[in-house]
């Protein structure tokens, strides 16, 4: 039995939706009168908000639990997130944690913690449709760039991916509740909102507004300066959303549209339901309306049976697109997914390593080229934090590049700068004008 916790620490792994969930769990516990601490080893309650996407991500949970037991003050441990959903009671059996709570049930965290304090391990991995949002406390204080989950779950069932199993079916939050939360975020200090969803561009409502309709409505919120959205699926990239990139000044020129691979045979085996060509045609349409758009994607190398020639097709697709920045991963077999059964086609580790290195060399080259092309441009920067040097601040360009500059502007200010230096991973800006303070 553990005493009722007074202090808590939330550690989030994985995607931005998990970061959002972690923030909301923190707000929920603060509303119960608990105090947040930055030091996990000093907390009475540690929430590990986990990710199940690749094997390494999952292993981290168990090593973290071990470390907390060794260095912490024997805290109450709650496992939340996608590992909680996927492994449920197994975690209690294997690691003797106090609470296991899935991504759709974390609004019940206070009751689960109370149950654990009374000596019974508490488990909740139910998946009610978006019930949690209505049960969470209002947003109070956020940074200048805030996340807002609008869509959850996935119906696409790519053969390598656990998300449809851990996050459930695709669900869109209602229009009005999103607008209300966006206004609350702006009142709480947000200048930029990133709309989140596993397939955010599948967001829709009964009126058929589509994500672009939602973005048009957000555009009218005074005090909100920038809108972004992630992650999108190629098959949900509708005309209205593409046009929104030309019509809405607040919508930043950035599109994260994962393709995963460049070979049609591999894409089919992945059940991606788009082809290399259909993907490239979408990018052409986006670039036609917004020529300066920064493109981003995700790649998996070494999907079962991927041949050398098929991998070369991924490289040639990368060369054809010219991405601004990307994520790339080695295929990781996940329990319960169809691809994990394709054991006769598993690609040897050293081949995966070599493919990943070659792919990343192409992606790094293109990122450096994209950054170099912004040299001399004038753009706004949203200041997000202090830099390492005195008087230095860090923020983001419209194209999501990190920009550092010397300024007396404060966190949350929007500054117009000239880009005076471009490095492979960041830019330097020279202040010209304060846009909004
Ligand atoms: N909904 C998004 C992304 C979800 S997960 C989409 O459809 O693209 C984020 C990324 O993790 C994926 O785009 C994919 O590149 C990678 N990923 C997912 N499952 C994986 C696996 N089993 N092994 C390696 N990478 C994986
Ligand atoms: Fe996973 Fe595919 Fe769904 Fe993305 S679209 S979350 S990769 S199943
Ligand atoms: Fe990971 Fe779950 Fe996000 S598996 S990537 S935390 S949806």
- CATH classification of the domain holding 398: 2.40.50.140
Phi, psi for 221 (deg, rounded to 5): -80, 120
Q: Write the residue with the smallest CA distance to atom 2 of ligand 2.
A: 158
187-205 pLDDT, tens digit each: 999 999 999 999 999 999 9
- Ligand whose nearest atom lies closest to the CA of 259: 1
Q: Provide the percentage of residues in the chain whose pLDDT is more than 70.
A: 99
Q: How far is the CA of 428 from the centre of ligand 1 (A)?
A: 32
What is residue 130's predicted lDDT score, i.e. its pLDDT? 63
250 and 347 share a domain?
yes
The neighbour count for residue 315, using CB atoms within 10 Å, is 16
Provide the number of structural domains found in the chain. Answer: 3
Annotated binding residue at 82?
A: yes
Is residue 265 assigned to a domain?
Answer: yes
Please give the DSSP secondary-structure letter assigned to residue 189.
T
CB 66 within 8 A of CB 176: no
115 and 163 share a domain?
no
Is residue 37 assigned to a domain?
Answer: yes
Q: Domain holding 336: CATH number?
A: 3.80.30.20
What is residue 436's predicted lDDT score, i.e. its pLDDT? 79
87 and 204 share a domain?
no
Q: In this model, does residue 83 exceed pLDDT 70?
A: yes
CB 224 within 8 A of CB 195: no
Phi, psi for 10 (deg, rounded to 5): -110, 130
Q: What domain range includes position 428?
A: 375-434
Comparing CA positions, the residue from 397, 394, 404, 330 lying closest to residue 370 is 397
Instruction: Look at residues 124, 145, 168 and tell me which one is the last residue of a structural domain.
Output: 124
64 and 142 share a domain?
no
Is residue 190 assigned to a domain?
Answer: yes
Instruction: Enter the pTM of the model.
Output: 0.96
Annotated binding residue at 326?
A: no
185 vs 224: CA distance, rounded Å: 9
Is residue 1 assigned to a domain?
Answer: no
Token representation of residue 379: 């753009």
205-261 pLDDT, tens digit each: 999 999 999 999 999 999 999 999 999 999 999 999 999 999 999 999 999 999 999
Helices (H) then strands (E): counts for the chain: 14, 19
219 vs 234: CA distance, rounded Å: 24
Q: Provide the percentage of residues in the chain whose pLDDT is more than 90.
A: 90
**Residue that is written with structure tokens 């972004």 in the block:** 228
Cβ < 6 A, ligand 2 pocket: 154, 156-158, 161, 163-164, 198-199, 233
Q: In this model, does residue 1 exceed pLDDT 80?
A: no
150 vs 173: CA distance, rounded Å: 5
CA geometry: angle at 155 spanning 363 and 275, to 5°? 45
CB 426 within 8 A of CB 403: yes
Is residue 235 assigned to a domain?
Answer: yes
Q: Say if ligand 1 is within 6 A of residue 160 CB.
A: yes
Instruction: Look at residues 124, 155, 185 and tell me which one is the last residue of a structural domain.
Output: 124
DSSP letters for 142-183: --SEEEEE-EE------TT--HHHHT-S-EEPPHHHHHHHHH
Residues sharing a CB contact under 8 Å with residue 239, sequence separation 6 or more, in sequence order:
none
426 and 361 share a domain?
no
Is residue 390 assigned to a domain?
Answer: yes
Say if residue 299 is preceded by a cis peptide, omega within 30 of 0.
no
Annotated binding residue at 15?
A: yes
Tell me what the mean pLDDT of segment 305-327 comes to.
Answer: 98
Q: In this model, does residue 103 exceed pLDDT 80?
A: yes
201 and 117 share a domain?
no
321 and 400 share a domain?
no
From 63-77, 118-132, 193-207, 410-424, the region with the lowest mean pLDDT: 118-132
Instruction: Look at residues 97, 124, 151 and tell me which one is the last residue of a structural domain.
Output: 124
Token representation of residue 309: 């020639």
223 and 352 share a domain?
yes
Is residue 91 assigned to a domain?
Answer: yes
What radius of gyration, in Å, describes the C-alpha atoms of the chain? 22
Is residue 107 assigned to a domain?
Answer: yes
Longest dimension (CA), the chain: 63
């Amino acid at each position: 039995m553990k005493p009722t916790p007074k202090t808590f620490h939330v550690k989030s792994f994985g995607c931005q939706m998990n970061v959002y969930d972690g923030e909301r769990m923190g707000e929920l516990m603060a509303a119960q009168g608990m105090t947040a601490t930055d030091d996990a080893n000093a907390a009475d309650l540690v929430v590990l908000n986990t990710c199940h996407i690749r094997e390494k991500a999952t292993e981290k949970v168990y090593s973290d639990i071990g470390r907390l037991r060794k260095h912490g003050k024997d805290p109450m441990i709650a496992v939340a997130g996608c590992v909680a959903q996927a492994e449920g009671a197994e975690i209690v059996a294997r690691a003797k944690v106090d609470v296991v709570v899935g991504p759709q049930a974390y609004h019940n965290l206070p009751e689960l913690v109370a149950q654990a304090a009374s000596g019974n391990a508490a488990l909740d991995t139910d998946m009610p449709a978006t019930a949690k949002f209505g049960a969470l406390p209002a947003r109070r204080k956020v940074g200048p760039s805030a996340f807002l989950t609008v869509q959850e779950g996935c119906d696409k069932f790519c053969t390598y991916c656990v998300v449809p199993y851990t996050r459930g079916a695709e669900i869109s939050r209602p229009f009005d509740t999103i607008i209300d939360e966006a206004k609350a975020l702006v009142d709480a200090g947000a200048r930029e909102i990133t709309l989140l969803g596993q397939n955010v561009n599948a967001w829709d409502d009964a009126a058929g507004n589509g994500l672009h309709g939602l973005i048009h409505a957000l555009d009218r919120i005074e005090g909100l300066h920038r809108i972004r959205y992630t992650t999108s699926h190629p098959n949900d990239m509708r005309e209205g959303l593409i046009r929104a990139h030309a019509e809405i000044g607040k919508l930043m020129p950035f599109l994260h549209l994962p393709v995963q691979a460049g070979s049609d045979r591999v894409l089919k085996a992945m059940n991606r339901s788009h082809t290399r060509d259909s993907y490239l045609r979408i990018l052409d349409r986006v670039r036609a309306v917004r020529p300066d758009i920064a493109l981003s994607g995700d790649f998996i190398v070494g999907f079962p049976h991927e041949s050398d020639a098929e991998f070369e097709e991924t490289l040639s697709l990368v060369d054809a697109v010219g991405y601004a920045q990307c994520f790339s991963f080695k295929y990781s077999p996940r329990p319960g997914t169809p691809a994990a059964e394709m054991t006769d086609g598993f690609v040897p580790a050293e081949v995966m390593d070599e493919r990943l290195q070659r792919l990343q060399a192409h992606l790094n080259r293109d990122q450096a080229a994209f950054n170099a092309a912004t040299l001399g441009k004038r753009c706004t920067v949203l200041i997000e934090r202090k830099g390492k040097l005195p008087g230095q601040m860090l923020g983001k360009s419209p194209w999501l590049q990190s920009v550092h500059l010397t300024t007396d502007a404060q966190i949350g200010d929007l500054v117009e700068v000239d880009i005076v230096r471009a490095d492979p991973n960041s830019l330097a800006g020279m202040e010209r004008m304060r846009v909004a303070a």
